[in-house]
């Protein structure tokens, strides 16, 4: 993760930056198609290691055949796997979907609980998935942190760190709950369209606030060089492990 240097931006700056990103991406929302919390939960589980477009291609047939948790709970992995094959990791996902549906039926009367702790007890449901469902389908503020949110927030300097839960805490602390889900949506879209791994900074509305832009783009400093400190990971290019000269030389 390419963390920017310096301290975390203030809560006021973070709110202003998120509002600016929201103006740049006024239609930011989850791109997964669903009609209720159950469908969004299924779609979000399927979206792991896949794309929203790919998931949206398989879910219409899946939801037609298994419209609710009770129907899905009665399915077998053999029936399910061919339907979700193209989303990848279909064996793990089919087990997770069946386990999730059976637990919904057994413990929650077939409904999706509007509660982080109960959601993350379900097979295949981590904090990110739970936040997606809470924020988009259950009216409970949630701030899902995916790889785009990690990259964008660290580059700008409104969060610091590689750990999604830590970044979620930092962003939630700086923003009112009413902005949490939107803050995630706009950063995900910004990360997909503008602040890509190779960013399109000339099209970015928060350029003047961005630490990565100031420290990497405007200085022309090659990625991978330290920003200011010779220690730490601040200037490490994303996705590349830290390697000592000794290890590199010995390869």
In the complex, least distance from residue 187 CB atom to ligand SF4, rounded to whole angstroms: 9
Query: At which residue do the structure tokens 């390419």 appear?
Result: 2
Neighbouring residues of 47: CB distance < 8 A, sequence distance ≥ 6: 32, 55, 87
- 209 has catalytic annotation: no
d(CA 43, CA 66): 13
**Quick one: tokens of 90?**
């279909």
Q: Which of 13, 68, 115, 146 is catalytic?
A: 146
Q: Which of 9, 128, 185, 209 is catalytic?
A: 128
DSSP annotation of 26 = T
The CA-CA-CA angle for residues 178, 180, 184, to 5°, reads: 145
H or E stretch covering 19: helix 11-24
In the complex, least distance from residue 20 CB atom to ligand SF4, rounded to whole angstroms: 10
Q: Which is nearer to ligand SF4, 21 or 140 (CB)?
A: 21
Q: Which is nearer to ligand SF4, 85 or 200 (CB)?
A: 200
SS3 197: coil
DSSP annotation of 159 = -
Q: Which is nearer to ligand SF4, 199 or 235 (CB)?
A: 199
In the complex, least distance from residue 90 CB atom to ligand SF4, rounded to whole angstroms: 34
Residues that bind ligand SF4 (CB under 6 A): 152, 155-156, 194-195, 199-201, 204, 206-207, 210, 212-213
In the complex, least distance from residue 216 CB atom to ligand SF4, rounded to whole angstroms: 8
In the complex, least distance from residue 228 CB atom to ligand SF4, rounded to whole angstroms: 17
Q: Which is nearer to ligand SF4, 47 or 153 (CB)?
A: 153
d(CA 84, CA 78): 11
**Quick one: tokens of 233?**
């990971």
DSSP one-letter string for 37-95: HHHHHHHHHHTTTS-HHHHHHHHHHHHHH--SHHHHHT--HHHHHHHHGGGS-HHHHHH
- 95 has catalytic annotation: no
Q: Which is nearer to ligand SF4, 66 or 213 (CB)?
A: 213
Report the catalytic residues. 128, 146
């Amino acid at each position: 993760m390419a963390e920017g240097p310096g301290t975390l931006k203030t809560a006021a700056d973070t709110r202003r930056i998120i509002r600016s990103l929201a103006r740049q991406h006024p239609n930011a929302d989850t791109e997964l198609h669903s009609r209720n919390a159950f469908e969004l939960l299924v779609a979000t589980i399927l979206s792991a290691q896949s794309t929203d477009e790919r998931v949206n291609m398989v879910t219409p047939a899946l939801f037609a055949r298994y419209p609710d948790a009770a129907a899905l709970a009665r399915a077998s992995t053999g029936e399910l796997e061919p339907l979700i094959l193209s989303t990848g990791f279909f064996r793990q996902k089919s087990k997770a979907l069946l386990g999730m549906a059976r637990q919904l039926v057994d413990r929650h009367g077939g409904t999706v609980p509007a509660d982080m702790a109960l959601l993350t007890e379900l097979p295949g449901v981590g904090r990110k998935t739970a936040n997606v469902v809470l924020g988009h389908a259950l009216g409970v503020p949630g701030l899902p942190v995916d790889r785009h949110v990690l990259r964008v927030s660290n580059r700008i300097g409104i969060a610091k760190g590689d750990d999604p839960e830590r970044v979620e805490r930092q962003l939630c602390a700086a923003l009112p709950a009413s902005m949490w889900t939107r803050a995630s949506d706009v950063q995900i879209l910004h990360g997909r369209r503008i602040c890509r791994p190779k960013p399109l900074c000339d099209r970015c509305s928060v350029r003047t606030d961005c630490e990565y832009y100031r420290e990497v783009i405007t200085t022309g400093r090659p990625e991978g060089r330290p920003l200011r400190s010779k220690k730490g990971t601040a200037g490490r290019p994303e996705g590349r492990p830290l390697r000592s000269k000794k290890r590199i030389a010995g390869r």
